[in-house]
Structures are given as C-alpha cells and as structure tokens.
Amino acid sequence: MVVTSSGIWQMTSTVIASGGSCLVVDPGYFPRELEQIAGSIPKGAAVEALLLTHSHWDHVIGHGRFPGVPVYVSPVLARSVAENGELARQAMAAAREHDARWYIERPWGYAWPGQVRGLDDEGWFNIGDLDLQAFLIPGHAPDCLAVRAGSRLLVGDYLSPCEIPFVEDLAAYRRTLQRLLALLEADIETVVPGHGRPLSVAEALRIAREDLRYLNALARAAESGDAGAAARIELPRAGEVPGMQDHHRDNCQKAGLPI
C-alpha cells in the first residue's frame, strides 16, 4: 500500500496492489501529483479499479488521469451520477471553481466517469488476490464509503488528525463513529484517513472516541436548545487552525442550533 499526501489539506490517495492489479483510492489532487501516483504503480501492474470514498470535489476530480477504469462508489453516489443529481453536479462545479481560482489546468475536464459501480454495505470486491469490503458510513456526506483491505481500513473524511469532524448529518455521523469503533476493534492495524497521515489503530481509536465525545456534547446542547453551551464546546483538535472555529459553527448549525 502506498499512501501519498496532496499539497491541498493533506488529502490522501492510496494505491493498493495485488497480483499485477491495482486499486487507486481517491486519486488527487493536482495534475502533477496525479502523475506521481501513476508513477508509483508497480511495473507491469495495471490499474484495475478506482474507489472514491465520497463525492467531495477534492476526492473525485483526479479520476480522469485513469480514463476507462471502472470506479467504485457508494450506491448513493452511483445513483446521483446516473441521474445527474445534486451530489454529482455540486462536486464537479466545485472542482471547476477551485481549479479556475488557482489557474489549475486539468486536461480531462469535469465530467463523471462513464462506469460507476455502487457497492452495497459490507459488499465485497477483489483486486488481484485481495478481497476488499465496503462499508457505508454517512454523516460527513450522505455518500461516504469506507473500504477494508486486510488489516487496513480506509475511512475517507473521518478520523482525521488534522481537523475536527465536518458534519452534514449529526445522528448519522455519531452512528458512523460507533460503527468505526467496532470495525477498528476487529483486527485492523492501520487506518488511512482522507486527510492527514496514516494512523495506528490506537491513534484511530483515540480520535474516534474524541470525536464522539465532541459530537455527543453537541447533540446534548442541541437537545436542550442551548446555543451558548454548543459554542463553548472544546474542539477535539486543530483549534488553532484558521477556519476550524467556523467549521464548529457550521456543525452547530447542522445540529439545529442558530449560532
């Protein structure tokens, strides 16, 4: 497994190889970084599939570096791509806007790939001799997917050491953290978050518990309608990062609290 870290938000891309076949997870972000990822494919091996952990633009727009390769996604995202739904349209519009703002040239443009395959919860697929299992983990976005490859668990935008939870659906996010805690305790050794360095299972468990504590406090404040209490909740990490308090305010709003 080779994990690379993008110059944008330490977004991770992962290459998993087995028996001459490769899976690339969240290829991104800048075109020259995508060339490095393509260059890290073992000699003689073929990229057999891509997997996108969710529809957010930074995680998806690199797919065009691997044209014609089938792409695994959650069923929610597969449906959105098939129907040109809001998730699918928003992702490409945001990628286009970001690229334009930073003068990034992306020769393959801003379309979804032709072949997108939805994976069911706990569904299996294989790459070479390796069996991989998908888990649907909504909360950060409705279309989030984790994938397990042996003792490695790739979780997309959860359990990041760089940022607090970015919540779209608070109840779903808390359920997902409970589920990730159970998965981590079942023979996982390494966790690859969507942003930041790979983690040992002990580090991932600590982050999951911290995030759950933070979101439980947010849920309690929301239940009692106490916006002041919500505003005072201590962030689990990254409080000094510019903008992180704004993300906390966004989370309060998603919990139903006007801040």
Name the residues that contact Zn ion, by CB under 5 A: 56, 157
What span, in angstroms and rounded, lies between the C-alpha atoms of 71 and 25?
9
- Contacts for 198 with CB less than 8 Å, ≥ 6 apart: 3, 12, 190, 191, 192
Which amino acid is residue 15, in one-letter code? V
Q: Which is nearer to Zn ion, 33 or 48 (CB)?
A: 33
Q: Which residue number has the CB closest to Zn ion? A: 56
Q: Least Å distance between CB 58 and Zn ion?
A: 7
CB-nearer residue toward Zn ion: 157 or 211: 157
State which residue, 70 or 142, has the beta carbon closest to Zn ion: 142
Nearer to Zn ion, 232 or 249 (CB): 249
Token pair recorded at residue 93: 């519009």
Q: Which sign, positive or negative, has the C-alpha torsion 121, 163, 247, 55?
A: negative
The C-alpha atoms of residue 148 and residue 191 are separated, in whole angstroms, by: 9
* Distances 163 to 71, 76, 113, 156, 182 between C-alpha atoms, Å: 27, 25, 30, 13, 22
User: Which residue number, 56 or 248, has a Cβ lying nearer to Zn ion?
Assistant: 56
Give the nearer residue to Zn ion in terms of CB position, either 64 or 165: 165
Q: Smallest distance, Å, CB 158 to Zn ion?
A: 9
Closest approach of Cβ 140 to Zn ion, in Å? Answer: 6
Cβ of residue 18: shortest distance to Zn ion, in angstroms?
27
Q: Work out how close the CB of 135 gets to Zn ion at its nearest, in angstroms, rounded to a whole number.
A: 16
Report the Cα–Cα distance between both ends of the chain, in Å, rounded. Answer: 43
In whole angstroms, how close is the CB of 175 to Zn ion at the nearest point?
A: 18
